[in-house]
Amino acid sequence: MEKLVIQGGTRLSGEVSISGAKNAALPIILGAILAEDDVVIHNVPRLQDVETSFELLRQLGIPHTRDGEHSYVVRACKEHDHVAPYELVKTMRASVLVLGPLLTKCGHAEVSLPGGCAIGARPVDLHIEGLRQMGANIVVQNGYIKASVKGRLQGAHLLMDTVSVTGTENLMMAATLAQGVTVIENAAREPEVIDLAKFLITLGADIRGAGTDTIEIHGVERLHGGEYRVLPDRIETGTFLVAALASQGQIRCNNTDPKMLDAVLKKLTEAGAQITRGDNWIDLKSQGRARAVNIITAPHPAFPTDMQAQFTALNSIAEGTGFIRETIFENRFMHVPELLRMGANIDLEGNTAICKGVERLTGAQVMCTDLRASASLVIAGMVAEGVTEVERIYHIDRGYEQIEVKLQALGAQIQRAPMKASVE
């Protein structure tokens, strides 16, 4: 087990290169199951969740090779296994994304139910219901979703009760090889859904409307191989920008896409940052202490839930009072008790965190509970007085590539260190 040890008080400055997006890379890697020929994927971030996805493919009997630092070749094949076991699925919720591809390609899939996690219950009923409407027989037994279909899935008109990112992705992938036309209404419009659609189109899928709330998929008989580059990570970009503003610094994020970050850049500007953007870069310059902002999370293009924890840390040391209202997940404030231990002044009222900015936080030993909560604690540690030790950083390694190396290059004093074995 490792921890991050942070000496607070340095202003971030310099340039950082943004990695490929976790939430696009995972569906794309698992979507490669659909192809009958080799698939080459570039700009794949080096993350624990990516390792887990490739391990899942390997256990299904779909080999891959790494080709350079961030590129992989998936040797997709016609015949392979169709079981995604609990041991892997429990470590990564996105594993449920193998359900649609396996079922539509092989006619069978057994995928462990992912179960809840720190941020909420996260059911997958919409995935299951959509596949049933496409003709699948599905039972949930012994903790597994067991799905089968006679012949091909059938195109269907699917109206999603709630906007679901992986729900839309699973059903879109299933529909690529179904017979006839599938329409997904109330579809998620996240950039990562568009990226997956573009990837599938590269393999020969016929998908129209990705990025709108109605996606139409015309099923084809097979998908061939192809080559694709994963889009940049908008959440990693946003995290570095918040860290820079919190530290009253000045940074440039390279290899990103400002167009995906409108809601986040708007809030950073409201908080007092000076933002300049180009085609694939964003500059942030602090103008002094940040101002607290009000945030309500909602599906894209509104403010992303995956950025609220970072803004909670920013509000904690900003001037004035701001609220953060979480509308997507029922339990996504696990970072708040840890920020309180560092001296933040935050009241939790239902799904709203009201943050009254304090002049300074103080370093403390804190514990990660989930991925973005971890990012908020790292930001808090960088602006706190003294030393902060962030424990359970396996959460952060799920979604940030070499976060301490990138922050060190921006001047932060942050080290990865082994945890001492606990004494009984």
Ligand X SMILES: CC(=O)N[C@H]1[C@@H](OP(=O)(O)OP(=O)(O)OC[C@H]2O[C@@H](n3ccc(=O)[nH]c3=O)[C@H](O)[C@@H]2O)O[C@H](CO)[C@@H](O)[C@@H]1O
Ligand Y SMILES: C=C(OP(=O)(O)O)C(=O)O
Residue 410 sits at the vertex; the CA angle it makes with 404 and 415, to the nearest 5 degrees, is 30
Binding mask 77-96 for ligand X (x = CB under 6 A): ----------------xx--
Cβ closest to ligand Y, residue 302 vs residue 387: 302
Q: Is 306 in the site for ligand Y (CB under 6 A)?
A: yes
Asked if residue 164 binds ligand X (CB under 6 A), the reply is: yes
Q: Alpha-carbon distance 85 to 414, whole Å?
A: 36
Q: Which positions from 355 through 394 interact with ligand Y, judged by CB under 6 A?
A: 371-372
Q: Is 345 annotated as a binding residue?
A: no
Nearer to ligand Y, 23 or 104 (CB): 23
Least Å from the CB of residue 122 to ligand X = 5
Our CB check for ligand X shows the closer of 306 and 338 to be 306
In angstroms, what is the minimal distance from the CB of 192 to ligand X?
6
Q: Is 117 a catalytic residue?
A: yes
Which listed option, ligand Y, ligand X, none, makes contact with residue 167 (CB within 5 to 8 Å by class)? Answer: ligand X
372 binds, among ligand Y, ligand X, none (CB under 5 to 8 A by kind): ligand Y
Size of the site for ligand Y (CB under 6 A): 7
Query: CB of residue 334 vs ligand X: minimum separation in angstroms?
Result: 14
Select the residue interacting with ligand X from 199, 281, 329, 333 (CB under 6 A). Answer: 329
- Judged by beta carbon, residue 162 or residue 274, the one nearer ligand X is 162
Q: State yes or no: residue 23 binds ligand X (CB under 6 A).
A: yes
CB of 70 to ligand X, least distance (A): 19
Quote the CA–CA distance of 225 and 214 in Å, as a whole number. Answer: 26
Site string for ligand Y, 10-39 (x = CB under 6 A): -------------x----------------
Mind telling me the catalytic residues? 117
Q: Which residues bind ligand Y (CB under 6 A)?
A: 23, 93-94, 306, 371-372, 399
Q: Which residues bind ligand X (CB under 6 A)?
A: 23, 26, 93-94, 120, 122-127, 162, 164-167, 192, 305-306, 328-329
